[in-house]
Chain A
Amino acid sequence: MDRHRSLAFHGGALALLFLLQFVLPPYHHTNFTSIMVLATYGIGYNILIGYTGLLSLGHAMFFAAGLYAAGLTVHYFNIDPISAFILGAAAALAFATAVGLVALRTTGVSFMIVTMMFAQACFLLILYFNQVTRGDEGLVLSGAARQIGGLSLTNPTFRYNLALALFTGALVLCYILIRSRVGRVLVAIRENEERVKMLGYHTFRYKLLALALSGLLSGAAGASYALMFGYVGATFASIEYSIFALLWVLLGGAGTVLGPIIGALLMFYLVEWTSEVTQSYRIVVGAALVLLTLFFPKGILGTLREKRLRWLP
């Protein structure tokens, strides 16, 4: 019963996103496209913070790994977007695994600090190899290189549906993961890692798996962003983009499948509206973070789940 309700809820959300493309005005059409890509990044982040209980402040490095792996190969070697996407996601997966092998040796706040530092080192590496990356200015991918089977990635309808497909894939992956036995172990690690260890689990491996999957989704989102919007720049590796993921997930509800997209949507339009009346959108972001921790530590969906929708995964 709960299972059906939950399937209907998420299926309904995806159907709504599909239908929205027919009614959204062009500006919001493009915004939704980019929000779905960024929400995929959010889902990746959520697997780690929401379901495994690991607070990373360096996820922009995985997003950037996908962004650069896909972007640079398209720019320099002219490979096709599908291979570039696969390459980007794979690069992020490998990178996240490598980072995990070191960073997961720490726990709690040290993990946060270490991920943040690694991300900053990646940001500096991008600047350091400016001959290749063009540093902060970044690279523009030509429209000609961004074609899949004759369809241009600059075509809004095509792009919207690709973003939707990416988001759906991430959502389904996340949904299956948390319903699986592995997902149960991850949640148990979030609740009490020591106990899970004494139940005989090699918790390090599970955390590594969570981080790798999280990096994979972040990187897939990064690669898609590069290919769909044609720009690759160091800004996306900055700490700000790690904080954004945290903000979306916390706002939407950590440990809820749809939380990241709700958070990303709300945050986008909150900044959009406030920037019309004030230039201080950062205060809005900051206040949102503080107020969330004080009054809604579980985020929107998390609070809903607590109050009524107990079946929400």
Chain B
Amino acid sequence: MTRSKTPKSNNQKSLISRRAALKGLGAVAGGSAALGLAPGFVRYIQVSAAEPLKIGFQAHRTGIGAAYGRWYERTTNAAVKLINDAGGIAGRPIQLITEDDGTDPKRGSEVVEKFASQHKVDITFGTLFSHVVMGSAPRAGELKMPYYVVSEGHHVASGALNRYTFQPGITDVKAQVSSMAPWIAGNLGKKITMIFPDYAFGYDHRDYFSAAIEKQGGQVLKLLPIPATETSYTKYFPQIPSDTEVLYHVMVGPGVLTFVKEMGEFYGSNRPQIFGFIDSLEAVDIASPGLEFLDGTYFWEAYPRYAQANQSEADKFYRAAVGVDNNGASLEDSKDVATYSHMFGCWETLYIIKEAVEASGYQSATAADKKKLVEATEAMKGWKEGNEHPQGDKTFVGQIHQCFGHQFISKVAGGKLEVVHKTEIADGTYEPETDYTKMAL
């Protein structure tokens, strides 16, 4: 995923709570600095019966990915704690080593290098932004380092990466957008105008949604790419053809609130159907002033942010463990909204790593063991909904290293999101475009 997400809009958070949050971040930073020292001690002491399994977590602590990175860390820490409390992986505790990549591809590949050569981790995981994945994956492949990303980009499944890079915890964008098309065509309309960010993440939407909606007999009337740095949108709206039935938006960047506000000013009450990707409003409170215009519009969600009437036990468990309330905000600060449709991927990926390590009989960071781990991961077929996979059932296609799951469509009502449709996994699956298992290990 590639987008300037950091800048979520929130005009109510006070400076005080910001400082409190910063303190928290500082503590996390301090803690992980201490962790960074830990490997040395562990080596010398050599007392623990079970040598820990080292997992390198490539985190976006700074740079444009920071707002997402924060929640990725919280989710990851929660899952690691649970796994360790339950006896770890194959009897070994996870030792999580977190390094900031600055949301920069060059630094990303250096971090992978550092994990492999300096920290000597067993596995690297957790990268979100596409360009960092693209910058880091080649090095991971060269180092033969199993690399589990949580990015939702189509880069893994497209065959652009390598045998050591997996995305087992989150459905890719191609599958997400393809699975939306039938419902949109059936319920909202067939003449679509797309507003999307003018960079890689947006192109996946542009290419795969256009194809999918045409299959449903629909038609994309107009494509409106918006540059990454844009902060004013009024000038784009006149380009929306007047016979547009559905406005499809996946807006990100510092100006999401502005985008909605200006759309409201432009249309008044006389608007087409509007369908958006929640990426537009991840980490943003739907009840923020200025977002009233979105009432009655629809959103894709990977995982419903607001606890629904039929909330599963697994979701209750997951929310409690990560520290998220029923509105998708932090238990400590109701204004601190989670990136709920993405961060579950970290949780589920960690459990998949656990399963793969245990199934492969992985012992130590040797080339032979890492090969076994890769093959064991490729051999997996999918997972059932449960505490380890709270988002829902998934299938996994070993050839393309990519999983596929259910998607949700929610309607904005009274400042909340209500699920109106849940897709089938088959709605989004596609023919494999590559076969990593044929590549040399």
Residue of A135, A137, A278, A280 near B153 (CB, 8 A) is: A137
User: Digit string of A55-79 for contact with B (CB within 8 Å is 1, else 0)?
Assistant: 0000000000000000000000000
Closest Cβ–Cβ distance, residue A266 to chain B (whole Å): 16
User: Digit string of A102-141 for contact with B (CB within 8 Å is 1, else 0)?
Assistant: 0000000000000000000000100100100011111111
Which residues from chain B contact A26 at a C-beta distance below 8 Å? 113, 116-118
Which residues from chain B contact A143 at a C-beta distance below 8 Å? 138, 141-142, 162
Closest Cβ–Cβ distance, residue A84 to chain B (whole Å): 16
Say yes or no: is A231 at the interface (Cβ < 8 Å to chain B).
yes
Residue of B106, B161, B201, B203 near A140 (CB, 8 A) is: B161
Residue of B2, B25, B33, B138 near A277 (CB, 8 A) is: B33
Which residues from chain B contact A154 at a C-beta distance below 8 Å? 142
**Does A130 lie within 8 Å of B198, measured CB to CB?**
yes
Given A136-B2, A136-B199, A279-B29, residue A235 in contact with residue B141 (CB < 8 A):
no
**Does B134 lie within 8 Å of A140, measured CB to CB?**
yes
Scan residues 22-46 of chain A and give those whose CB is less than 8 A from a CB of chain B: 25-27, 29-31, 34
Cα distance A12–B62 in the bound complex, in angstroms: 39
Cα distance A143–B114 in the bound complex, in angstroms: 20
Closest 10 CB pairs of A and B: A137-B200, A27-B117, A26-B117, A230-B138, A27-B118, A154-B142, A136-B199, A137-B130, A135-B199, A231-B135
26 contacts between A and B (CB under 8 A): A26-B113, A31-B110, A124-B227, A135-B198, A135-B199, A136-B130, A136-B200, A136-B228, A137-B131, A137-B134, A137-B200, A138-B134, A140-B138, A141-B138, A143-B142, A230-B138, A230-B142, A231-B109, A231-B134, A233-B105, A233-B134, A235-B135, A236-B106, A275-B102, A279-B25, A279-B62
Count of B interface residues, CB-CB < 8 Å = 40
Chain B residues close to A by CB (< 8 Å): 2, 25, 29, 33, 36, 61-62, 100, 102, 104-106, 109-110, 113-114, 116-118, 130-131, 134-135, 137-139, 141-142, 153, 155, 160-162, 198-201, 203, 227-228
Residue of B100, B102, B105, B142 near A138 (CB, 8 A) is: B105
Extra A-B contacts (19), CB below 8 Å, given A140-B134, A233-B135, A279-B62: A26-B118, A127-B198, A127-B199, A127-B227, A130-B203, A134-B203, A135-B200, A136-B130, A137-B134, A140-B137, A140-B161, A143-B142, A143-B162, A229-B138, A230-B138, A235-B131, A276-B36, A281-B62, A281-B102
Which residues from chain B contact A124 at a C-beta distance below 8 Å? 227
Given A31-B110, A127-B227, A230-B138, residue A235 in contact with residue B104 (CB < 8 A):
yes
Cα distance A278–B227 in the bound complex, in angstroms: 31
Residue of B33, B130, B155, B162 near A276 (CB, 8 A) is: B33
Cα distance A233–B104 in the bound complex, in angstroms: 10
Closest Cβ–Cβ distance, residue B145 to chain A (whole Å): 12
Scan residues 258-313 of chain A and give those whose CB is less than 8 A from a CB of chain B: 275-281
**Does A130 lie within 8 Å of B135, measured CB to CB?**
no
Cα distance A140–B139 in the bound complex, in angstroms: 10
Cα distance A134–B201 in the bound complex, in angstroms: 10
**Does B131 lie within 8 Å of A136, measured CB to CB?**
yes
Given A231-B109, A279-B100, residue A25 in contact with residue B117 (CB < 8 A):
yes
Chain A residues close to B by CB (< 8 Å): 25-27, 29-31, 34, 124, 127, 130, 134-141, 143, 154, 229-231, 233-236, 275-281
Closest Cβ–Cβ distance, residue A90 to chain B (whole Å): 24
Which residues from chain A contact B114 at a C-beta distance below 8 Å? 27
Cα distance A144–B246 in the bound complex, in angstroms: 45
Closest Cβ–Cβ distance, residue A70 to chain B (whole Å): 15
**Does B198 lie within 8 Å of A235, measured CB to CB?**
no
Residue of B100, B141, B155, B201 near A275 (CB, 8 A) is: B100
**Does B109 lie within 8 Å of A229, measured CB to CB?**
yes
**Which chain B residue has the least Cβ–Cβ distance from A131?**
B203
Which residues from chain A contact B162 at a C-beta distance below 8 Å? 143
**Which chain A residue has the least Cβ–Cβ distance from B137?**
A140
Closest Cβ–Cβ distance, residue B306 to chain A (whole Å): 31
Which residues from chain A contact B106 at a C-beta distance below 8 Å? 34, 231, 235-236
**Does B199 lie within 8 Å of A130, measured CB to CB?**
yes
Cα distance A137–B62 in the bound complex, in angstroms: 18
Cα distance A127–B4 in the bound complex, in angstroms: 15
Cα distance A233–B107 in the bound complex, in angstroms: 13
